[in-house]
Amino acid sequence: MAEERQAQTTLAADHHARLAAWVRDRSPMCKHITAPQVAALVTTGLVTDCQLRAAGLAV
């Protein structure tokens, strides 16, 4: 059970890292990032408000 939880946490962290890279690169894929994902990226400090605005994602 704990191993499964750890695997899920790792998977989510990897996913957020990928989304943050899209934002930093201003990738066209940013259009697929949802509002809750944007909030998670800001909360975890992976991206800044300025980076989100530059990528076309309103905060």
Task: Give the other-Cβ count within 10 Å of 48's Cβ.
Answer: 14
Q: What is the pLDDT of residue 35?
A: 94
SS3 48: coil
Per the CB < 8 A criterion, the answer to whether 40 and 47 are in contact is no
pLDDT single digits (tens) 23-56: 999 999 999 999 999 999 999 999 999 999 999 9
Residue 53 class from Cβ within 10 Å (0-12 exposed, 13-18 middle, 19+ buried)? exposed
What mean pLDDT is predicted for residues 16-23?
96
Q: Is the entire prediction scored with pTM above 0.75?
A: yes
